[in-house]
Amino acid sequence: MKRRELIEHLTRHGCRFLREGSRHTVYFNSVNRKTSTIPRHNEIHDFLAKKICKDLEIPKP
């Protein structure tokens, strides 16, 4: 899955950008008060995308 597609999925489900790290981006789900990091790679493995969604408690892509 492309990183851009994952970020669009997160924003559609109410997650918002929190901050940038040196090698990752942190997104925050304000409804559930959960955070998760997204690596700054062009391609993100499907199992990692599913884990990020599970951490943020949103539906899987």
Residue 41 token pair: 């790679």
Q: Encode pLDDT of 3-49 as tens digits.
A: 999 999 999 999 999 999 999 999 999 999 999 999 999 999 999 99
**Domain range list for the chain:** 1-20+35-60
pLDDT for 35 equals 96
Question: Helix crossing, 3-12 with 46-56: angle to 10°?
Answer: 20
What is this structure's pTM?
0.92
C-beta neighbour count of 20 within 10 angstroms? 10
pLDDT for 4 equals 96
pLDDT for 36 equals 96
DSSP summary character for residue 45: -
Across the chain, which distance is largest between two alpha carbons, in Å?
A: 28
Contact 39, 24 (CB under 8 A): yes
pLDDT for 45 equals 96
